[in-house]
Copies of this chain bind each other. A is one copy, B any other.
Amino acid sequence: MGNKPMKLWQKDYSLDQQIQKFTVGGDHLLDQHLIEYDCQASLAHAEMLQSIGVLSLGELADLKQGLAEISELAGNKDFPIDEACEDCHTAIENYLTDKFGEAGKKIHAARSRNDQVLTCLRLYEKYELGQIDNLLIDYQSCLAKLVARQGTIPLPGYTHMQRAMPTTIAMWLLSFKDSADDNRLLLRSVLALVDQSPLGTAAGFGVPVLKIDREQTARALGFKKVMKNPMYAALSRGKFETQVINLCSQIMFDLNKLASDLILFNTTEFGFTTLPSEICTGSSIMPQKSNPDVLELLRGQYHIVLGEEFKVKSLLANLISGYNRDLQLTKEPLIKSVNTTKACLEIIQVVLNKISFNKAACKKALSPGVFATEKALELVQMGLPFREAYRAAAKKMGEIK
């Protein structure tokens, strides 16, 4: 076999080259995100295999060493995956077999690529949800700092894009902080959902013959719970991913709205803020332009995540139980959504740290109409029924003759 990469299911025919290229798609590249998690999961699996007698202590030691090597190589971006290998799982098994022979050939006992992928994805998701949570906290603290700096500035609140009632920079920005609190609650519920170990469900129907210990591997990998029914593990593939992406789209929605506000406030006509030039870009033809591209892209990225969410929600449908290869196509949307959300949560902090508001322009926008509700409620306080107070205030504003 030598250096030629071998597939896990290699038989005595060769896969058509065009078919191979098409079926692998971008998996060998995307899987760079998963190598570390497969090393962790393979180690836990190997330890369990040793504890039930499938591997010897020596073989386990070999695998431990090999997996540590791979993990280090991957950390240095130095564990490329050959297209013929299909994915990181095959590349890792091939590495172990090339290096240690028997031990490598034994590690796949009692597991399937299906539960390997599932386990890697769950570990990836748990880690990334933690990262996103940290970024949410940082973002909230940027909002708080800006409120501390300029929160007392009054400005009109808008409904229907028309001046409505008075508000402040603080009330406006803290609405996003509160929303981030609820997004963090949602994050915790998604985290609880994905924190279930699928390892040991094999191809989606469990492991016959061998007496594997699924509690042991779950414990070793830090999962709260074992996902018992193997067919539920298969059902959860993609479905859980929709929930991670739905969380991402919720976070992105807030950033979309905050960006929409800032873009409007940054127009010459509103003038509530003027973005500092080091975060603006220019025009190739119009010398005077200073454009809020960063905010426009923040706004647009919401739709990208939304598109990824609907890809997954749509492609899962109308398929029967058990693994279908269509599910491979859920991997890229997941990783793209996570990466986009993280990048956006980072960039909004740059903006929030550098922005400031023009007090004079904000105050000037508080034209008399903005206080009409206050006037009406003062009449209510004096005993007028609200509906009459409303008409009296409208009359005073010239809205009724």
Contact segment of A124-132, A134-142, A200-208: A200-208
Asked if residues B287 and A390 are in contact (CB atoms below 8 Å), the reply is: yes
Mark out the residues of chain A between 209 and 229 whose CB falls within 8 Å of any chain B CB in the assembled complex.
209-210, 227-229
Asked if residues B329 and A297 are in contact (CB atoms below 8 Å), the reply is: yes
Asked if residues B15 and A253 are in contact (CB atoms below 8 Å), the reply is: no
A373 touching B164 in the complex, CB below 8 Å, given contacts A260-B318, A317-B253 = no
Interface string of A275-300 (1 = CB under 8 A from B): 00111011111111111111011011
Partner of A164, one of B289, B313, B377: B289
Asked if residues B171 and A229 are in contact (CB atoms below 8 Å), the reply is: yes
Asked if residues B381 and A210 are in contact (CB atoms below 8 Å), the reply is: yes
A contact residues, total (Cβ < 8 Å): 174
Contact segment of A36-44, A66-74, A177-185: A177-185
CB closest residue in chain B, given A90: B284
Contacts of A207 in B (CB 8 A): 377
CB closest residue in chain B, given A365: B269
- Closest-CB distance, A190 to chain B (whole angstroms): 9
Contacts of A15 in B (CB 8 A): 278-279, 281
Q: What are 12 sample pairs from A and B whose C-beta atoms fall under 8 A apart?
A: A9-B281, A11-B394, A102-B385, A112-B285, A157-B231, A159-B286, A164-B204, A208-B373, A208-B377, A256-B317, A282-B399, A288-B369
A-B pairs, top 8 by smallest CB distance, nearest first, are A9-B282, A307-B311, A300-B326, A105-B385, A303-B315, A288-B369, A175-B231, A296-B325
